[in-house]
Chains A and B, each alone.
Chain A
């Protein structure tokens, strides 16, 4: 890739001074191959306008701080190469969240919602396995398939891009929890072999799981390639069906859950 110049159109907004945000154009010269959008934005911050506010940390798609909307598509700034984009690049903050300043958004709400999800509740027997006549190391052993299933969700870096792209959250303000650390988190707890709480009914009634209409945008933007819809939302929906819409499965499930000592949150 030969050196070239790109124009970055960056969203600037300072709530103390401005009433409304605006896009300001900056020219970034000598773009090298392999350069990512974050490099260009940092160039602007260092050489052109030091007051530009961005949040970034690792530049390796691990910390999930530099989420933004690049050419209106939610993406990590550090994972979007400039040579995949045109000569004019718009960089905006995630507009599903309140803007603190420029490209920095306030994602606190997500953590508040997360604290509503029923906590990890360990099986009682596991705390004192000797009383059940089992060895401690046997009881705490987890099968590989369970590890695989939960590991996918643990890859989440909390960049909240899926939350930003979710049209229910973005356009309709319906009280839907949204996919990222909420349904994925709940699913990872639900599928944990040592946990005894079933969160599907809670998600369906309070989390607004029904608002999701499986349009899979969250899965498309996920920088960690978690199959959010296929492996978290649909199984949770199916669990909710088990408990609320399917009398046959409900009967079977109730017996199974009683046997395993599980509870519904």
Chain B
């Protein structure tokens, strides 16, 4: 999961800009005309590893059901159904993590035809309806993908928050608020 996030196209922008300062900013006032500053080669050297982003994505898929399993356990662990604020926070967290994972650029490419030369080409026209559905799926994926960066940051901060919240509950810092008993 961590590797998935590290090679994510949305985070690449942030760490390349802020940690490695390539570029320092989109503005030209930080232009170094006679710079001796060496470029780390973008994704041609060490960061070539970015290219296997999709495998990290595949690896992160099996983790997602556990988020939802946590929600289930948090409702039923006392032996009877009980909805608490914690469960709702866990559910929101699970939804955001799922949306983040499924708005990935690589997923859009691999499944929804970012790699397709065309949707429903003349040569697939035997099934025009399925190609229309495929195109629709691509549109849906693109719409999700547009919010990838926002989802990335929301889900990351949520993850941290939820972790701390559950831990705090565990040490009885404050009582769990029970909504439906």
Q: Which residues of A contact B (CB under 8 A)?
A: 69, 72-74, 92, 95, 125-126, 134, 138-146, 164-165, 167-168, 170-172, 174, 176, 190-196, 198, 208, 210-217, 220-221, 227, 229-231, 234-235, 237-242, 244-246, 249, 253, 260, 262
Q: Is the CB of B52 within 8 A of A246?
A: yes
Q: B145 interface residue, CB < 8 Å from A? A: yes
- Chain B residue with Cβ nearest A94: B28
21 A–B contacts from the bound complex (CB under 8 Å): A95-B33, A125-B123, A134-B122, A140-B122, A143-B118, A143-B120, A170-B23, A171-B31, A193-B117, A193-B121, A210-B41, A211-B43, A213-B12, A227-B146, A230-B145, A230-B146, A238-B109, A246-B52, A246-B55, A249-B115, A260-B117
Count residues of B near A (Cβ-Cβ below 8 Å): 52
A190 touching B117 in the complex, CB below 8 Å, given contacts A72-B29, A238-B106:
yes
Residue-by-residue, is B125-151 near A (CB-CB < 8 Å gives 1, otherwise 0)? 100000110011011001001100000
A171 touches B118 (CB 8 A): no
Interface residue? B42 (CB, 8 A): yes
Is there a chain A Cβ closer than 8 Å to B172's Cβ?
no
Closest residue of A by beta carbon distance from B45:
A210
Chain A min CB distance to B133 (Å): 11
Contacts from B to A (Cβ < 8 Å): 9, 12-13, 16-17, 22-24, 26-29, 31-33, 35, 37, 39, 41-44, 47-48, 51-55, 105-106, 109-110, 114-115, 117-123, 125, 131-132, 135-136, 138-139, 142, 145-146
Q: Of the candidates B9, B47, B115, which one forms a contact with A253 in the assembled complex, judged by CB atoms under 8 Å apart?
A: B115
B33 contacts across to A, CB distance below 8 A: 95
Whether B28 and A95, one on each chain, are in contact in the complex, defined by CB atoms closer than 8 angstroms, is yes
In the complex formed, the residue of B with least CB distance to A210 is: B44
